[in-house]
Amino acid sequence: MLSITLIQANLVWENKVANLQRFEQKINEINQPTQVVVLPEMFSTGFSMNPSTLAESMEGETVQWMKKIAAHHKIILTGSLIIEENNQFFNRLLWVLPNGMIGTYNKRHLFAFAGENNHYSPGDQRFIGSVNGWKINLQICYDLRFPVWARQQVTNVPEFDVLIYVANWPERRSHAWKSLLVARAIENQCYVIGVNRVGCDGNNIAHSGDSMVIDPLGEVLYCKNNLEDIYTIAFNKTNLQEIRTKFPFWKDADKFNILIDN
């Protein structure tokens, strides 16, 4: 079994202290056993194009907070924040284990429509975490529009079992968000989780949340609109294996290589 908790929340614009206090309270309210807790994109600040003021190092306050929370609750805590490293800014997803070890993923597809590419550097490697024999592919928001970046690299077995997107996806494009999450689940024959924020940001852009869980057949198991919510779901590996055995479409996938050109 694999238990994952989604936290859909409003974010206080560019206020780390308020956001960390809010998420700590919400994590304390989780009333079911869980192994992974997923927070939205840039959960400590909102989707800000002000990294010179808000960025922190991998030794910074938000990273230390994530390590503290993961250790105290004996969970894996994940979500993205603004990181400065080697004189560059990254929209970086952290995968923080209870023992303090950290995996990282830098957002590959920067949202040029909002100028993200003018402030942040793109990543060039995917990150797939592991929990109790489950493989979890971790991606960020705009990555959702680029299916090749998420596509299973199939050899003898599928590369991953769960695909997670953390996001600040606006309400005006919620139809695309919901449709693409379902598509990623069907084409990769995996569970897909999308964790989005609610409320208006500092640019008066509204977010409806629509955090979702979708099964490998594209069936929506959970979707929450507009309201803050904490939701825990348990996945059974037997169910996933039965679907992949009954419908072995993954075996017919095209083999390919991803060429990175920054």
Let me know how long the chain is: 262
pTM above 0.95, yes or no: yes
Query: Model confidence at 11, in pLDDT bands (50, 70, 90)?
Result: very high
At residue 105, the 3 state secondary structure works out as strand
Q: Give me the domain span that covers residue 105.
A: 2-252
Share of the chain above pLDDT 90, in %: 93
Mean pLDDT throughout 141-158? 93
Q: Cα 44 vs. chain centroid, distance in angstroms?
A: 14
* Residue 233 falls inside a structural domain: yes
Q: Are 71 and 227 in contact (CB under 8 A)?
A: no
Question: Distance between CA atoms of 29 and 178, rounded to whole angstroms?
Answer: 27
CATH of the domain at 157: 3.60.110.10
* Residue 239 falls inside a structural domain: yes
Say whether 141 is catalytic.
Answer: yes
Give the contacts of 121 (CB within 8 A, at least 6 positions apart). Answer: 88, 89, 90, 106
Mean pLDDT throughout 211-223? 98
Calculate the dihedral angle through the C-alpha atoms of 175, 160, 143, 123, rounding to the nearest 10 degrees: 170
pLDDT at 262: 62
Residue 180 backbone dihedrals phi, psi, to 5 degrees: -70, -35
Question: Distance between CA atoms of 56 and 62, rounded to whole angstroms?
Answer: 8
* Residue 258 falls inside a structural domain: no
Task: Report pLDDT digits (tens) over 76-135.
Answer: 999 999 999 999 999 999 999 999 999 999 999 999 999 999 999 999 999 999 999 999
* Confidence check: pLDDT of 155 > 90: no
Say whether 219 is catalytic.
Answer: no
* Residue 257 falls inside a structural domain: no
* Residue 168 falls inside a structural domain: yes
* Residue 262 falls inside a structural domain: no
How large is the angle between the packed helices 61-73 and 16-28, nearest 10 degrees?
Answer: 10
Of 16, 107, 178, 224, catalytic: 107
Tokens read off for 69: 């929370």
For the chain, the average pLDDT equals: 96
* Residue 149 falls inside a structural domain: yes
Structurally, the chain folds into a number of domains equal to 1
Of 41, 56, 116, 171, catalytic: 41
Task: Report pLDDT digits (tens) over 172-205.
Answer: 999 999 999 999 999 999 999 999 999 999 999 9
Question: Distance between CA atoms of 109 and 179, rounded to whole angstroms?
Answer: 19
Of 141, 171, 190, 224, catalytic: 141
**How many of the other CB atoms lie within 10 Å of CB of 120?**
22
* Residue 247 falls inside a structural domain: yes
Say whether 223 is catalytic.
Answer: no
